[in-house]
Structure 1
Amino acid sequence: METRVLKTLEFDKIREIVATYCTSTIGRDLLQKLEPVSDFNTVVELLDETDEGLAILRLRGNVPMGGIADVRPHAKRAQIGGVLSAYELMEIANTIRASRILRQFIEAVNEEEDIELPKFLAKKEALPILTGLEHEINAAIDDNGHVVDSASGTLRSIRQNLRMQEGRVREKLEGYTRGRNAAKMLSDSIVTIRNDRFVIPVKAEYRSHFGGVIHDMSSSGQTLFIEPDAVVQANNEIRNLKMKEREEIEKILQELSMKVQEIAHELFVLVGVLAEIDVILAKAKYGTAHKCTKPTVNEEGYIRLAKARHPLLPIEEAVANTIEFGKEITSIVITGPNTGGKTVTLKTVGLCTLMAQAGLPIPALDGSEVAVFESVYADIGDEQSIEQSLSTFSSHMVNIVDILKKFDSRSLLIFDELGSGTDPQEGAALAIAILDEVHGTGARVMATTHYPELKAYGYNRPGVANASVEFDIDTLSPTYRLLIGVPGRSNAFEISKRLGLHEHIIGRAKKFTGTDRGEVDSMIASLETSRVQSEKDAEQTHALLIETEKLKCELETKLAEFDDMKEKLVEKAKEKAKTIVDTARTESEAVIAELRALRMNAGAQVKEHELIEARKKLDEAAPQEKKRKIVAKAAARPLQVGDEVKVVTYGQKGTLIEKASAKEWVVQIGILKMKLDESVLEYTKPEKLKEPVVSASVRGRDSYVKLELDLRGERYEDALHRTEKYLDDALLSNYHQVSIIHGKGTGALRQGVQSYLKNHPRVKSYRYGEAGEGGHGVTVVELK
């Protein structure tokens, strides 16, 4: 893009505003070079980067970018063998630390938030990892840029000796300040430093009493700063130690500078990537602060700006306009009087295009779309040039001639007051000819003019639309709203009438305008009336749509809450049922264990199949996880005394003893007698009337027992419990041989199952399956 166009459309001002959101000097320096690009893929990538930055700011509020400095000069000086200062090394360490924190932040956002950050992750990967150098510098230099004692063993030893020596000197001099004659001979009872040596302030008349070296004198000459003879040698030692300290510090800085020299290239890369990230985040911060959005981009020259504002106008003052053209309509001619906002509209379109092509969000609503143009040209404002002795018209024409030489079908052309500054008739003719020239090439064009001849331009040529900026006759001021499809009208007669001009003068003026002009103005007025009504209807429809959407969202929310509550209740019920089942199973196992112990220890005559039946009944009595509605089936016939019935609420069988009332019966359940409502009693056929057992494969009531048990995927304890229950069911079904599928895996489940089979009293033998039976993944069990 031409620098002149960027300045004409005020892109440089946008760039300066965005630069204020950078957190580092390297970011600001890079942003000052920001310019629109014309490559479509690059524009898409830039906008995607900014969009990721907007997402991060929306989720986290801010990004840690503190402590970054432009350390490239330091790295360059280290490259040529220079020794860096402690402060410069500290800046390098701080910059590396900032990159490390930023890398960790990006990783955390990517892992913890439900968003994808491919661009930021790529930037993170491009950051060199220089943590080793950071730690080495931090171990030698503190946050204030001072070399610490621990930087080397030699420095620690020197400084320890230095502190001891200084302590001795101070102690000796403080003996003078605390002496009997101190108040008399000393100006002040303090120990101070002059010329890097410890001295005491002595009154001039007592200088001979202390001897030594005079290092300074007060302005009045009454006080002499004397280094007594007693501490001269000690001060010399201190001076010597300080020289050694400086030499050791220089050595430490030189070693660290050599390490910086080794990774200087990585530091250049590091600073470059940090600057890019700072620029991306500055764009995102600008977009957030100015309520901007990421537009969609295309290569077809199509522009649709939804409620777009001029980015340099205050948000509360700027009038938002929806502007759409570039498909069927490729040229828009805005007509109407001056000060109506035509130029602001042109700049809004041009500036939003340039911003998008620079990767900046634009001040428009979501769903906006801009085209990526190869070039943008603009002729806006008063171009009068006194230095070149050019009039306004001549300056405009020089610029337009240059544009006509350079533009092509992939250009956006913006003309303000086309043809102005010369004879109206000739200017209008030139404007039409220029518009025909650029429109015929397929370029996208927006132009403004106040010539009435161009009001009919859009009606005579396909692909061209008229537009105007609305003017409020009641307030005698423009509303700055763009009206596409409606040409502007002067409103001069209406304004003059409201300002008090006599009717007969206005009537005479209308006669001079001609019939055609009056008909055109009437047509425009009719179009404006229709437009106002259409806008009112559209607003009402939009309000209804919003209300409908709101109701829909509320219903969806309530439905989601209901589904969530239902799911929680079901889960709660399942958990409660599982607890009851587990408790019942534990109790049943305890009963079975006691019965078996009784048989083995006391010789009780309890059969094994009776034990299995007992446990089976306990299992069947356990409540199921899935709730069922307790309603007895309709009786096949009226209940009678002596009938066998099933008590649905308890799942037990009993016999009817007597009828207690119209709807109640006395039922014998085992050794218990209970009075129950007839609704929970279900008639059952006596045992002798039931269907005979057809096959040994039928167990319990009427459930089928398979010849194999599949334990794959089961937990160890659950698998053993299922094995025990399965063997009981198989014994009841008179099976002589069954298969247990446990898989191969680690072998833990196989060993557990076979250990259990080894101790089971009704297992005759067991073996691995044959090749056709599953091999070592199956154990074949023979039952007694």
Structure 2
Amino acid sequence: MLERVLRVLEYDKMKDQLLPHAGSTLGKQRVKQLKPSFDFAEASEALTRTSEAAKVVRLKGNVPLGGLKDIRASIKRADIGGQLSASELLEVASTIYAGRTFKQFTEQLVEDEIDLRVLPEMMSEVDPPTALQREIQQAVDEDGSLLDSASSELRQIRQQIRSHESTIRSRLESITRSTSGRKMLSDAIVTIRNDRYVVPVKAEYRGSFGGMVHDQSASGATLFIEPESVVTANNQLREAKTKEKYEIERILQVLSGLVAEETELLSIITEVMTEVDFMFAKAFYGRELRASEPSLNEHEYVQLKQARHPLIGEDEIVPIDVELGGAFSSLIITGPNTGGKTVTLKTVGLLTLMAQSGLHLPCQEGSTAAVFRQIFADIGDEQSIEQSLSTFSSHMTNIVTIMEKLDFQSLVLFDELGAGTDPTEGAALAVSILDHAFQAGAKVIATTHYSELKGYAYNRDGVVNASVEFDVETLRPTYRLLIGVPGRSNAFAISSRLGLKSSIIDDAKKQISTETNQVENMISSLEESRKQAEKELEEAAAFRAEAEELHAELTGHLEAWQEEKQRLLQSAEEKAKKQVEKARAEAEDIISYLREMQKNNPSIKEHELIDAKKHLDQAEPDFAPKQKQKPKKKQADSDQLLAGDEVKVESLNQKGQIVEAVNDKEFTVQLGVMKMKVPKKDLVYISRPKPVETKPMATVRGRSSHVKTELDLRGERYENAMAEVDKYLDAAVLAGYPQVSIIHGKGTGALKKGVEELLRSHPSVSESRTGSQGEGGSGVTVAKLK
């Protein structure tokens, strides 16, 4: 039964397409042996292997599969002591090379972190005997002849042969060049007869030429004579060639023995590489079909998306969507002849067989195939390539067998069920057959012309109508499969388009029963509704695509604007920082200059310089990311702003202190080292300092009271410690301290020495000394400030 199903579904023709993709004779034999598996685990493993090979093909393109030969008979003969020919040994070496090359290729794939499971497992069994390959290749050339390097004895013998041949040719050529020789010879050449070098002598000079006759021409006018002068050399040549033959046989026997020692490894290489070649043949075939991996299930559920029959050309095929085994288990396809009903059956059947054979399917991604335990097909009409029109009896013979064997794990394909007999009886029989298959739980797809079967699907759950679309305007089928819509006969519409009188068509319509007319009208209404729904769906899809495109465009513009805004802000901040750094550098130069002047002009106080430097630091703008602004404080009236109040200048985003009021609408504000007049409306009141007792340096001490009278440098690096001391002395002078302590620890003494040198040169230090026992001893230096 299976052989008939494979034949009618054209499975062998599919294998003929697969065959050229195998790279070796063994791979091609494996393709010819291919059959679908009806075991889920086995089919799944075969599909996994194909998918892994397809992944490698997709990522690498070409795969090193050349060199595999069918050496099974050769290694078997070597194993029992037989001698292999040079060409057989060359095939053994070629097969070893194929296994070694592909093993290296697989290892490289693993190193490239390509996710593979099957190939590494398979190639882990392969251990190519490279030493044997090297021995064979050193002894046998690419043409299958033994090389001189096969053995030192063979090299020596062949040198003798060449020497003897050279001697013989030299002597014979001297005869052909001589005047007397040219007279007696029919042609001035040297030739071979019976493995001996001879010259062609005219028959009339036989008596005068001498030597041994080995042959004569057909006419008898020429005799092929071995002159006496080369008889000895010819004998020596023959003896050397005999030695060469024995030596070659000895070498071949030795190499055959080496092959016999590696019989097991060679058998594994042959077996594994045959399966590898077969895997990649299926992968390359899938690439040619633009096929995809289906998901397999054992629940008899099929969903093929945009499925294409692999034997129909790309320019002719119309992809179809088919589903079976989910909401319904039987699909009844109706429609006119040549509309594609049979192609639909064959597509579902052949693709199911391909999936169960471990092949990828010519479908869209996401398709699903089932692994059925049995597949039955009764297909055979004038469209079938395999057979001519079947009779009703032959159809029924096949159907009888199907009915006896089908079960809930079966896929059954009926083409023109009930055809070939009386329409009424045929339709009744078709309904009964479908009922029996449905009750058995089989998944069924049936095509029919009977209008009675159109109503069959409406009366039974789990059965759905389908049709192949026909364009009445062009009088051509579109080959689209429409699930859920029964097919119309279209006979009246076609006849009208072809010019048949309307009166004849009207009379024909009267002959049809009311029920039939109602069914036709219902089908027409369903088709109109479907077309309208498809049109609206297309329009909705177009609107959605346009909206998504617009959304993407606007998102892109927004992101670009945000990036440009950020770039401009960053550019402005960088420019401002450079200006501030430049101003700061200039101010530092001025302060340094003033320090130099201070040495000559004691009226310039050190704490005034330090205070100016601190104000300069405070005047530097803050470029930290701005936080969400808090509500502004309420601006104060002119009579509320007093000298010394802390305010914020809104236009400059800087804090300062009011020096004095110019008038009701303007104030002089101290901003760092700068004073400027600011309008009252540009000022925001922040705080007012608490009144303090009027004492010398009270304001300074109040502002710097956080400075301690000692600085701990322990654990600091030298450079950092010196910088810390310099800053600390400025702050201590500003705080008004008369004396401070620098804690540097004892350690190596480097830090102490650096502190002492810095204190001696610092303009704010009058003197320094090592701390007393109660002050920390030699680990502390005490500095008195000016």
Common fold by TM > 0.5:
yes
Residue 634 of structure 1 aligns with which residue?
654
1:523–1:727 distance in 2 versus 1, CA, 3 Å? same
Deviation digits for residues 478-500 of structure 1 (CA, Å, limit 9, x no counterpart): 21111111111211111222222
Shift of 1:540: 3.1
Residue 351 of structure 1 aligns with which residue?
350
Residue 488 of structure 1 aligns with which residue?
487
CA distance in 2, matches of 1:216, 1:558: 99
CA distance in 2, matches of 1:109, 1:547: 43
CA distance in 2, matches of 1:514, 1:8: 38
Give unmatched runs, 5+ long, in structure 1.
384-389, 568-626, 647-654, 663-684, 700-704, 709-722, 739-756, 765-781
Deviation digits for residues 48-88 of structure 1 (CA, Å, limit 9, x no counterpart): 22122222222222222222211111111112221000011
Deviates more, 1:263-272 or 1:482-491: 263-272
3-state DSSP of counterpart to 1:468: strand
Residue 86 of structure 2 aligns with which residue?
86
Which residue identity does 2:115 align to in structure 1? E
CA distance in 1, matches of 2:124, 2:325: 40
Kept in 1: contact 2:718–2:751 (CA 8 A): no
3-state DSSP of counterpart to 1:142: coil
Establish whether residue 479 from structure 1 lines up as the match of residue 478 from structure 2.
Answer: yes
3-state DSSP of counterpart to 2:51: helix
Residue 324 of structure 1 aligns with which residue?
323
Establish whether residue 301 from structure 1 lines up as the match of residue 300 from structure 2.
Answer: yes
Shift of 1:43: 2.0
How much is the aligned-residue C-alpha RMSD, in angstroms? 4.0
Residue 777 of structure 1 aligns with which residue?
none
Shift of 1:218: 3.4
Which residue identity does 1:477 align to in structure 2? R
CA distance in 2, matches of 1:559, 1:265: 69
Deviates more, 1:355-364 or 1:266-275: 266-275
Shift of 1:179: 3.2
Deviation digits for residues 663-683 of structure 1 (CA, Å, limit 9, x no counterpart): xxxxxxxxxxxxxxxxxxxxx
Residue 173 of structure 1 aligns with which residue?
172
Shift of 1:266: 2.4
Residue 516 of structure 2 aligns with which residue?
517
Which residue identity does 2:654 align to in structure 1? A
CA distance in 2, matches of 1:686, 1:231: 131
Kept in 1: contact 2:297–2:369 (CA 8 A): yes
Deviates more, 1:485-494 or 1:195-204: 195-204
Kept in 1: contact 2:712–2:743 (CA 8 A): no
Establish whether residue 96 from structure 1 lines up as the match of residue 73 from structure 2.
Answer: no
Residue 6 of structure 1 aligns with which residue?
6
Kept in 1: contact 2:50–2:360 (CA 8 A): yes
CA distance in 1, matches of 2:360, 2:86: 42
3-state DSSP of counterpart to 2:411: strand
Which residue identity does 1:6 align to in structure 2? L
Alignment of 1:176-325 (within 5 A): 176-325=175-324
3-state DSSP of counterpart to 2:487: coil
CA distance in 2, matches of 1:521, 1:241: 96
Deviation digits for residues 205-250 of structure 1 (CA, Å, limit 9, x no counterpart): 4444543222233344443332221221111111111111111110
1:554–1:148 distance in 2 versus 1, CA, 3 Å? farther
Shift of 1:632: 9.8
3-state DSSP of counterpart to 2:198: strand
Residue 650 of structure 1 aligns with which residue?
none
Shift of 1:289: 1.3
Kept in 2: contact 1:295–1:356 (CA 8 A): yes
Shift of 1:175: 2.7
Establish whether residue 28 from structure 1 lines up as the match of residue 28 from structure 2.
Answer: yes
Question: Which one has the largest radius of gyration?
Answer: 2
Residue 742 of structure 1 aligns with which residue?
none
Residue 610 of structure 1 aligns with which residue?
none
Shift of 1:292: 1.5
Shift of 1:543: 4.1
Which residue identity does 2:128 align to in structure 1? I
Kept in 1: contact 2:744–2:752 (CA 8 A): no
1:226–1:403 distance in 2 versus 1, CA, 3 Å? same
Residue 154 of structure 2 aligns with which residue?
155
3-state DSSP of counterpart to 1:170: helix
1:348–1:391 distance in 2 versus 1, CA, 3 Å? closer
Residue 76 of structure 1 aligns with which residue?
76
Alignment of 1:428-439 (within 5 A): 428-439=427-438
3-state DSSP of counterpart to 1:145: coil
Give unmatched runs, 5+ long, in structure 2.
383-388, 567-622, 627-650, 661-668, 679-698, 729-741, 755-777, 781-786
Alignment of 1:606-755 (within 5 A): 634-637=654-657, 690=704, 692-694=706-708
1:170–1:686 distance in 2 versus 1, CA, 3 Å? farther
Kept in 2: contact 1:216–1:224 (CA 8 A): yes
Deviates more, 1:44-53 or 1:368-377: 44-53
Which residue identity does 1:115 align to in structure 2? I
CA distance in 2, matches of 1:688, 1:167: 121
3-state DSSP of counterpart to 1:20: helix
Which residue identity does 1:86 align to in structure 2? A
Deviation digits for residues 358-410 of structure 1 (CA, Å, limit 9, x no counterpart): 01111111111111111111111149xxxxxx982222222122112211111
1:475–1:299 distance in 2 versus 1, CA, 3 Å? same
Per the normalisation by structure 2, the TM-score is 0.73
Which residue identity does 1:98 align to in structure 2? A
3-state DSSP of counterpart to 1:135: helix
1:639–1:216 distance in 2 versus 1, CA, 3 Å? farther
Kept in 2: contact 1:335–1:448 (CA 8 A): yes
Residue 670 of structure 1 aligns with which residue?
none
Establish whether residue 401 from structure 1 lines up as the match of residue 400 from structure 2.
Answer: yes
Kept in 2: contact 1:210–1:229 (CA 8 A): no
Alignment of 1:389-468 (within 5 A): 392-468=391-467
Residue 342 of structure 1 aligns with which residue?
341
1:724–1:153 distance in 2 versus 1, CA, 3 Å? farther
CA distance in 1, matches of 2:115, 2:497: 61
Kept in 1: contact 2:375–2:411 (CA 8 A): yes
Deviation digits for residues 320-339 of structure 1 (CA, Å, limit 9, x no counterpart): 11111211111111122322
Residue 753 of structure 1 aligns with which residue?
none
1:763–1:29 distance in 2 versus 1, CA, 3 Å? farther
Which residue identity does 1:522 align to in structure 2? N
Which residue identity does 2:129 align to in structure 1? L
1:443–1:728 distance in 2 versus 1, CA, 3 Å? farther
CA distance in 2, matches of 1:201, 1:557: 95
Residue 497 of structure 1 aligns with which residue?
496
3-state DSSP of counterpart to 2:470: strand
Establish whether residue 63 from structure 1 lines up as the match of residue 63 from structure 2.
Answer: yes
Kept in 2: contact 1:382–1:392 (CA 8 A): no
Which residue identity does 2:11 align to in structure 1? F
3-state DSSP of counterpart to 1:177: helix
CA distance in 2, matches of 1:565, 1:246: 87
CA distance in 1, matches of 2:460, 2:495: 34
CA distance in 2, matches of 1:639, 1:191: 130
Kept in 1: contact 2:744–2:751 (CA 8 A): no
Which residue identity does 2:367 align to in structure 1? S
CA distance in 1, matches of 2:449, 2:477: 15
CA distance in 2, matches of 1:83, 1:558: 80
1:105–1:201 distance in 2 versus 1, CA, 3 Å? same
Q: Percent identity?
A: 48
Residue 598 of structure 1 aligns with which residue?
none
CA distance in 1, matches of 2:745, 2:31: 82
Shift of 1:688: 11
CA distance in 1, matches of 2:561, 2:363: 38
Kept in 2: contact 1:67–1:94 (CA 8 A): yes
CA distance in 2, matches of 1:177, 1:512: 106
